[in-house]
């Protein structure tokens, strides 16, 4: 089992999208990229903790590659909007790839470069790529949010 961590707006939709990928064993909503230990949803939403809403994906690399997960990441959000996805506005909604190894760092940078060269986006990509130094699991009511409400996304 391997881990990948992505920020692409509100974590509810990110979690739902990755859970549909064959080879993804689990997806956990949480927070990464900030300075506060054990942040709460309220602290993250206030913008004072520095964290992004993220999803940590546990995947089987024999069934799905990290590069394939990166492709899902690029398709589920707009990586050209700084600190915003749809109606959600704030630094916690930034586009981010938090890597767990030097190989993931290389793959993420190559994927970003490929997207920039492809002219897939009219505006510049603002996705942050950084090491996943610490991941904090979000409160239980954020886990499987759509699934628990019977909503399909």
Per residue, what are the HEC states of 70-122? HHHHHHCCCCCCCCEECCEECHHHCEEEEECCHHHHHHHHHHHHHHHHHCCCC
Q: Kindly give the parts of the chain with pLDDT less than 50.
A: none
Task: Tell me the CATH number at 9.
Answer: 3.30.1060.10
The DSSP line for 24-66 is: EEEEEEEEES-SSSS--HHHHHHT-S--EEEEEEEE-TTTS-H
Q: How many domains does the chain have?
A: 1
> What integer pLDDT is reported at residue 119 of this predicted model?
82
| Structural domain harbouring 131 | 2-148
> What integer pLDDT is reported at residue 87 of this predicted model?
87
Q: Is 51 inside a domain boundary?
A: yes
Q: Is 108 inside a domain boundary?
A: yes
Catalytic entry in 3, 10, 64, 132: 10
What is this structure's pTM?
0.93
> What integer pLDDT is reported at residue 145 of this predicted model?
57
Q: Can 10 be counted among the known catalytic residues?
A: yes
Q: Is 153 inside a domain boundary?
A: no
């Amino acid at each position: 089992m391997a881990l990948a961590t992505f920020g692409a707006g509100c974590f509810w939709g990110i979690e739902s999208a990755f859970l549909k990928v064959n080879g993804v064993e689990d997806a956990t909503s949480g927070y990464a990229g900030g300075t506060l230990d054990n942040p709460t949803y309220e602290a993250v939403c206030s913008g004072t903790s520095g964290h992004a809403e993220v999803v940590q994906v546990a995947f089987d690399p024999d069934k799905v590659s990290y590069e394939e997960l990166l492709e899902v990441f690029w398709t589920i959000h707009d990586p050209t909007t700084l600190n915003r996805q749809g109606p959600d506005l704030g630094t916690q909604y930034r586009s981010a790839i938090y890597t767990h190894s030097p190989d993931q760092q290389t793959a993420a940078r190559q994927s970003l470069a490929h997207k920039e060269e492809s002219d897939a986006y009219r505006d510049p990509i603002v996705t942050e790529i950084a090491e996943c130094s610490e991941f904090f699991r979000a409160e239980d009511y954020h886990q499987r949010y759509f699934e628990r409400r019977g909503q399909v996304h």
